[in-house]
């Protein structure tokens, strides 16, 4: 994500961005940003999807995998539940649907994150103990983990240890909730044992903590050992906008730094429901339209990637049903009957357009930092990210939003919500330093409108190149800047 620029000596790529007519400084919100480029390939590889391919309503799973592959999804996150593979004590087997989706994903080049989760009712206290009868070690669960990792070695390379222990099984067995409580220490003991075992069985495997909100992960840091490759977070922002979660993630990073906890961050669940049901525990009235959901998907993917999250798994791919009052039926980007929702179409448009760009080896990347100055109306926030697609070709992805804290009402529809009226389609003008970069060929695409690129006019104007005919909206639009070769690049 574009970060505040603090070293004015590192100026090598200078933009003046104006929305509509450039206002006077007394009326404008003038900010300077610093943003190093990241390769386009890394962004495309950061797109993941949450799935439930073993469920009956997800059949035939190959159809959904093909749709995800077409939309540029490289990673899926799916459970292999303990209770599904050990139905009789000591007898382990993969049911046909689980074995089927694993091999189908492998054949399509889609990498699974396998979630090792939930208790098993064939054992007392679900096999994980309870507050009245706590466990300090978890041999039954570890036998299940050993079976899964041993049989999937070389096929699966990512394992997530449980899913939201604050809300599934551990909290019911040991007490507590999202604020912490009895579940924290026993879950961390299980996770530490499991991480050590996975690394022993498959040294190349990437091990993730169980997914949870960033504020909850902070409570586990004192008890997790440095055995994890990534902390898995679930940065749900409801009832706020995608950019809201930057605060909790930053706080988690600060605590990791303070405690010398060495691990990366992945978002293994994040999404927005379009249904009308009440979502506990927030009392949130789901009033997001499918078009709003599509905008949030695009903003989330860009924002998380440039916030240092290597992967974002959107929740969910397929709606569980068609009841508009059931919130779990309305997280998907594809309807239960298989028809695409606007979010799927927008993702397909984006990845098809960007996938045709020429990707570059790291050695040929533009070595200079990028410097950006933004001038825009004071009530709005401009977000932007840079990607590099070729030695002299850059992608500038911009969107605008109103950064007010109240996005939704908790009691019912709110017709004054800003984002629903923020389909601005404003005119955007860029000014680029001619002497440093030359005159680029410029074109723009809007994933909400289609995968087509539309040319823009770049005209030399004194020491600058002025680019006109661009648009900025409340969802990311992509501007390609293709510069001529330059000896200083």
Which CATH number fits the domain that encloses residue 370? Answer: 2.60.40
Range of the domain at 33: 3-39+364-482
Cα–Cα distance between 5 and 166 in angstroms, integer? 39
CA atoms 242, 247, 248, 252: torsion sign: positive
Highest mean pLDDT (candidates 93-102, 440-449, 456-465): 93-102
Lowest mean pLDDT segment, chosen from 2-6, 198-202, 370-374, 468-472: 2-6
Are residue 33 and residue 59 in the same domain, yes or no? no
pLDDT score of 229: 98
- Same structural domain, 470 and 427: yes
pLDDT score of 160 more than 80 = yes
- The answer to whether residue 276 scores a pLDDT higher than 70 is no
Q: Which of 208-217, 282-291, 400-409, 440-449 has the lowest mean pLDDT?
A: 400-409
Task: Kindly state the percentage of the chain with pLDDT values over 70.
Answer: 76
Do 207 and 251 share a domain, yes or no? yes
Among residues 120, 64, 151, the alpha carbon closest in space to that of 335 is found at 64
Q: Is residue 489 part of a domain?
A: no
197 and 318 inside one domain: yes
Distance (Å, rounded) from C-alpha 398 to C-alpha 95? 46
Same structural domain, 115 and 236: yes
Over the range 172-181, which residues count as b (16 or more CB within 10 Å of their CB) and which as e? ebbebeeeeb
Q: Are residues 11 and 73 in the same domain?
A: no
Q: Which of 306, 323, 355 lies at the terminal end of a domain, its last residue?
A: 355
Q: Are residues 404 and 292 in the same domain?
A: no
Rg value, the chain, Cα: 24
Check whether residue 315 and residue 454 sit in a common domain.
no
Residue in 456, 457, 461, 465 with CA at minimum distance from that of residue 438: 465
CATH code, 331: 3.20.20.80
Q: Is 79 helix (H, G, I), strand (E, B) or coil?
A: strand
Together in a domain, 273 and 341:
yes
259, 159, 269, 266: which is closest to 218 by C-alpha? Answer: 259
Q: 437 and 345, same structural domain?
A: no
* Whether 286 and 260 share a structural domain: yes
**Same structural domain, 84 and 168:** yes
**C-alpha to C-alpha distance for 305 and 325, rounded to whole angstroms:** 32
- At 274 the pLDDT is 85
Q: Is residue 487 part of a domain?
A: no
pTM confidence score = 0.88
Q: Decide if 392 contacts 357 (C-beta within 8 A).
A: no
Cis before residue 342, ω within 30 degrees of 0? no
pLDDT of amino acid 26: 34
Domain count, the chain: 2
Mean per-residue pLDDT for 235-258? Answer: 86
Averaged confidence pLDDT in the chain: 81
* Proportion of the chain in helix, strand, coil states, percent, rounded to 5: 30, 25, 45
């Amino acid at each position: 994500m574009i970060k505040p620029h603090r070293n004015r000596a590192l100026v090598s790529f200078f933009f003046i961005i104006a929305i509509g007519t450039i206002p006077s400084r007394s009326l404008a919100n003038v900010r300077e940003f610093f943003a190093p480029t990241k390769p386009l390939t890394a962004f495309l590889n950061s797109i993941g999807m949450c799935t439930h391919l073993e469920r009956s309503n997800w059949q035939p799973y190959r159809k959904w995998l093909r749709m995800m592959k077409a939309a540029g999804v490289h990673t899926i996150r799916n459970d292999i539940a303990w209770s599904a593979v050990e139905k009789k004590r000591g007898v382990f087997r993969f049911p046909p649907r689980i074995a089927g989706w694993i091999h189908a994903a492998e054949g399509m080049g889609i990498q699974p994150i396998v979630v090792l989760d939930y208790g098993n009712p064939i054992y007392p206290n679900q096999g994980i103990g309870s507050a009245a009868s706590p466990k300090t070690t978890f041999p039954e669960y570890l036998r299940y983990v050993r079976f899964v990792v041993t049989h999937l070695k070389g096929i699966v390379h990512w394992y997530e240890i449980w899913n939201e222990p604050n809300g599934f099984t551990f909290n019911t067995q040991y007490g507590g909730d999202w604020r912490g409580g009895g579940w924290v220490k026993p879950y961390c003991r299980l996770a530490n044992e499991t991480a050590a075992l996975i690394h022993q069985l498959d040294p190349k495997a990437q091990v993730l903590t169980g997914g949870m909100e960033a504020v909850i992960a902070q409570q586990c840091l004192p008890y997790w050992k440095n055995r994890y490759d990534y902390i898995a977070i679930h940065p749900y922002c409801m009832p706020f906008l995608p950019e809201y979660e930057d605060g909790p993630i930053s706080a988690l990073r600060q605590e990791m730094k303070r405690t010398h906890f060495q691990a990366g961050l992945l978002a293994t669940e994040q999404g927005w429901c379009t249904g009308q049901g009440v979502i506990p525990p927030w009392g949130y009235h789901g009033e997001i339209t499918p078009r709003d959901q599509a905008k949030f998907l695009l903003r989330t993917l860009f924002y998380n990637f440039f916030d240092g999250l290597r992967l974002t798994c959107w929740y969910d791919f397929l709606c569980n049903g068609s009841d508009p009052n059931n919130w779990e039926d309305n997280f998907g980007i594809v309807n239960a009957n298989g028809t695409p929702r606007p979010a799927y179409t927008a993702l397909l448009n984006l990845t098809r357009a960007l996938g045709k760009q020429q990707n570059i080896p790291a050695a040929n990347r533009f070595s200079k930092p990028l410097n950006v100055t933004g001038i825009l109306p004071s009530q709005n926030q401009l977000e932007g990210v840079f990607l590099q697609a070729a030695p002299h070709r850059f992608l500038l992805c911009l969107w605008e939003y109103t950064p007010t804290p109240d996005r939704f009402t908790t009691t019912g529809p709110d017709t004054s919500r800003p984002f629903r009226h923020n389909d601005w389609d404003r005119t955007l003008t860029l000014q680029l330093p001619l002497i440093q970069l030359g005159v680029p060929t410029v074109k723009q695409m809007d994933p909400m409108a289609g995968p087509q690129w539309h040319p823009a006019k770049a005209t030399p104007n004194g020491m600058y190149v002025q680019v006109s005919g661009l648009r900025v909206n409340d969802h990311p639009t992509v501007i390609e800047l293709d510069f001529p070769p330059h000896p200083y690049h």
